[in-house]
Chains A and B, each alone.
Chain A
Amino acid sequence: MIQVTGLSKRYARHVAVNNISFSVEKGDIVGFLGPNGAGKTTTMRILTCFMPPTEGQATVAGFDVFEQAFEVKKHIGYLPETPPLYPEMSVRDYLHFVARLKNIPNSEIKSRAEQVMERCSVADVSSKLISKLSKGYRQRVGLAQAIIHNPDVLILDEPTSGLDPKQINETRELIKSLAGEHTIILSTHILPEVEAVCKNVIIINKGRVVVTDSVDNLKNRAGIGGAIQVQVDTAGNADALAVHQRLEQVSGVSKVLDRDSTGSRFVFEVESLQGQNARADVARAIVHAGWNLLELKSSSLTLEEVFLELTGSTHAAALPPATEPSVIGGVQ
């Protein structure tokens, strides 16, 4: 549905997007993930024909964004970062206007507008002025605007920014419900969002694509090669050092760190070698030595850490301890 090859966008002083390529299949929801300033908005603006690329090619629904911009525009629904709303209009009038802009036949304008208002749950404010609406409602009116002509491709630039948790959930549900009939690209810098909504993810940083993968693969990747937290009770049979040494001998273990100890209970953090998961071996080794294995959990890299590692923006250690239950949820 969307095919991007070697796309670049250069400004006088900096490169916003540098030679990126990716493709999106029909009916997919793809998360476009990256820190602020990574080039997400620029890429989306190129795809929606708002601006032309400096180099490279992009096709949407089989049409080139530069050569056949008019055709592309017919197939795209776009929600920019700030929803393009006219504050002095009422929600209904605004949607009627957009419907006319998108070439919906006069006879269908009313029914289409009512449908999308229902779908985006803004029907209760339909005759209110947009300037009087809360941020959550505005965002949803923006979304209604993007889907009113039933486009094949939906491009959503940070659709949940500035919403409260309840609204975020509602918006995500709405976006999920749109998948299938529409191909959706949504940009975000919030990881749980990608996990909650998207099937595939494109991570972009400093104008380059870092990873293109499915969310599941990426999560697995997070589980493998991460750290394990082990709690052992030796019942006085051995001291911390002995356990430490035993753990270090387990194959696939790269590093063992002492975390905590109370009496005969010791907590270690065990890091596996890249691409391996030593959990099973660690468990076996402890049991074999006759100690009690109290807890074994993957305090591994969360998706967040993977992201930070890939984008290299912060050292993973700067994050709060990943053992705490978190929405990001590594493999437990």
Chain B
Amino acid sequence: MRNIWTICRRELYSYFVSPIAWVLLTIFACLSGVFTYIISASFVRISLESQMSGQTQPMNLNEQVIAPLLSNIAVIGLFLIPLISMRLFAEEKRQGTIELLITSPIHDIEVVIGKWLSAVLMYSSLLGVLLLDFSFLFFYGHPDWKPVVTGFVGILLQGACLLAFGTFVSTLTKNQIVAGALGFAFSLLLWILNWTTSFGNSATVQVLNYLSIVSHMDSFSRGVIDSKDLIYYFSMIFFGLFLTSRSLESLRWRA
């Protein structure tokens, strides 16, 4: 445990001492702010229009603002996640510091988990910015807080999952750009797997749909925590980290 924290702490140090964290935080704050503004502005416009036309149908802040906002945030995450994970191992390999890690009395899996955990914490600090956006919704409206919490959990799990695979591709190369590009391609692929649902409902399609990372977000943003989705996320995280540690081990044989 201590070793995991040692690694994780150093990674966080690097994120926040270098411009990476601040650039990502800025990008995320700007984009999520714009999204929040556009979505809530259009919600306000629609609710005004419906009031003027005399409709008394209740407007739902959760369904019409928060759920679409969360799924848009997840898309921003798709772009930022490879930027978070790409340096994890690629940079160590380029700098030669990987020799220090491998020749220290510490298990590979501790290095892997420590690094992944730091990336997850980095990603959650991005999501932390969202609290500011959401505080306005709570200030001016009365949304149900439970779906907001589950939505956050869902986005975080989804991020943790993509970060695990991002960590894995980062072990494959010395070059951060290559790691980033591969990570992005992989995330995008997982993202669009559920598009295959338009091909019908065969067993293959069902499997692909289950594998798609997006199809598991929906229930979270509706306030439902389904064990099916939890199992999906946790097994994907496990698989990603497993691949990472195998790849790290094989590095010795290839080196």
Q: Which of B6-14, B27-35, B138-146, B157-165 contacts A (4 or more CB under 8 A)?
A: B6-14
Cβ of A74 and Cβ of B253 under 8 Å apart?
no
In angstroms, Cα B97 to Cα A307, docked, is: 33
Q: How far is the CA of A287 from the CA of B153 in the complex (A)?
A: 99
The number of A-B residue pairs with CB atoms under 8 Å apart is 75
Contact of A85 with B97 at beta-carbon distance under 8 Å, contacts A51-B253, A52-B252, A100-B6 already known: yes
Question: Given A86-B10, A98-B100: A103 and B17 within 8 A (CB)?
Answer: no
Which partner residue on chain B sits nearest A101 by CB separation?
B104
Known: A50-B252, A88-B14, A97-B6. A73 touches B100 (CB 8 A): no
Residues of B in contact with A, size category: 20 to 34
Contact A49 B97 (CB under 8 A): no
Q: Are A101 and B97 in touch, CB under 8 angstroms?
A: no
When distances are taken between beta carbons in the complex, the residues of chain B under 8 Å from A45 are 99, 255
- With a cutoff of 8 Å between Cβ atoms, the chain A residues found around residue B185 in the complex are none
Cβ-based interface call for B103 (8 A): yes
A77-92 interface with B by 8 A CB criterion = 78, 80-89
A200 interface residue, CB < 8 Å from B? no
Min distance, Cβ B16 to any Cβ of chain A, angstroms: 10
Mask, B105-137, CB within 8 Å of A = 1, is 111000000000000000000000000000000
B18 at the interface (CB under 8 A from A): yes
Query: When the two chains form their complex, are residues B3 and A101 in contact, meaning their CB atoms are under 8 A apart?
Result: yes
- Distance between Cα atoms of A73 and B103 in the complex (Å): 6
Given A82-B96, A88-B14, A89-B13, A76 contacting B255 (CB threshold 8 A): no
A76 nearest in chain B by CB position: B103
Restricting to A100-137, which residues have a CB under 8 Å from any CB of B? 100-103
Let me know if A302 is at the binding interface, CB within 8 A. no
- A88 to B14 CA separation, bound complex (whole angstroms): 7
Interface size counted on chain A using CB atoms at 8 A: 29
B41 near A: Cβ within 8 Å? no
B10: chain A residues within 8 A (beta carbon): 86, 89, 97
Query: Known contacts A88-B17, A103-B105: does B253 contact A52 (CB below 8 Å)?
Result: yes
- Enumerate A221-271 residues with CB–CB distance to B below 8 Å: none
Question: Measured between C-beta atoms, what is the minimum distance from A143 to chain B in Å?
Answer: 13
Task: Tell whether B57 is near chain A: CB-to-CB under 8 Å.
Answer: no
Contact A145 B100 (CB under 8 A): yes
Q: B95 in the interface, Cβ–Cβ < 8 Å?
A: yes
Interface assignment of B46: CB less than 8 Å from any CB of chain A: no
Q: Which chain B residue has the least Cβ–Cβ distance from A103?
A: B105
Contacts A76-B103, A78-B99, A101-B100; A50 near B2 (Cβ below 8 A): no
* Chain A positions within 8 Å of B95 at CB level: 82, 84-87
Contact B104 A102 (CB under 8 A): yes
Name A80's contact: one of B99, B107, B253 (CB within 8 Å).
Answer: B99
A93 at the binding interface (Cβ < 8 Å): yes
23 sampled A-B residue pairs with Cβ under 8 A: A45-B99, A49-B103, A50-B99, A50-B103, A50-B252, A51-B255, A52-B252, A52-B253, A70-B107, A78-B100, A80-B100, A82-B96, A84-B96, A84-B97, A84-B98, A86-B14, A86-B97, A88-B14, A89-B13, A97-B6, A100-B6, A101-B100, A145-B100
Closest 6 CB pairs of A and B: A84-B100, A100-B6, A84-B97, A73-B105, A101-B104, A82-B96
Q: Which residues of B contact A (CB under 8 A)?
A: 2-3, 6, 9-10, 13-14, 17-18, 95-107, 252-253, 255
Measured CB to CB, the residues of A under 8 A from B are 45, 48-52, 70, 73-74, 76, 78, 80-89, 93, 97-98, 100-103, 145
Apart from A48-B99, A84-B95, A102-B104: 7 A-B pairs, beta carbons within 8 A: A50-B252, A51-B252, A78-B103, A88-B17, A88-B18, A100-B3, A101-B101
